[in-house]
Amino acid sequence: MTLRMDSGRSRVVIETRAKGMLASLAHDLRVLAPIASGEASSDDRCTATFDVSAMKVDQSCKHNSGAWGAPSPGDRSQIEEKIGAEVFKGVRTITVEAQLTGSRAKITVTAGAGKQSVDTTVSVERADGTVRAKGEATLSLEALKATQPKVPLGAIKLEDAVVVRFDVVLA
């Protein structure tokens, strides 16, 4: 039996942190990555595809302040443009493959020529023909061959490690 991703009930959030000489002037970000398509098979294998151009900045906060909120429309637009044009330059889609074994999942992320596999803990709920998987994984932007957005003199950069939190529903 094949299950399909329920994009309306699923949520994937990527959290980035600033670093560098002027990091205190920068913003940490939470970016929503809507699932373009995805499915799971009865052997607990799952695939999902994300459209880079659909990624949207959901929240930002002054670096390490902890005060998350909606970014200004101008900041949101500028950051979303940089995600596609600079960070994932030339990459249209990101593919995620996962193999669930008990409460662990091996997740492989492919973004253009970049690829990374990580193992993580996942909570899984099965009920009424649906499967819900929740967890988080830390990925390396370098391993995914993402590039740093351009800022004057490189005084602000992204930390290499980004945290991806997911709450995925398949039906």
Please state, in angstroms and rounded to a whole number, the distance separating the CA atoms of residues 48 and 96.
5
Please state, in angstroms and rounded to a whole number, the distance separating the CA atoms of residues 59 and 106.
28
Long-range contacts of 107-111 (CB under 8 A, 24+ apart): 107/137, 109/139, 109/144, 111/144, 111/145, 111/146
Q: Describe the strand order of the beta sheet including 27-32 as a list of residue ranges.
A: 3-4, 35-40, 45-51, 93-101, 104-111, 114-127, 130-140, 161-170, 11-16, 27-32, 56-62
pLDDT of residue 152: 63
pLDDT of residue 143: 95
The list of the chain residues with pLDDT below 70 reads 151-155
Q: pTM higher than 0.85 for the full model?
A: yes
pLDDT of residue 24: 76
Q: What is the pLDDT of residues 19-60, one digit of tens each?
A: 877 777 788 899 999 999 999 987 799 999 999 999 999 999
pLDDT of residue 76: 93
Please state, in angstroms and rounded to a whole number, the distance separating the CA atoms of residues 70 and 137.
24
C-beta separation of 73 from 57 below 8 A: no
What's the Cα-to-Cα distance from 26 to each of 6, 8, 14, 150, 158, rounded to whole Å? 34, 31, 17, 13, 10
Which listed CATH number (2.60.120.40, 2.40.128.110, 2.130.10.10, 3.60.10.10) goes with 3-170?
2.40.128.110
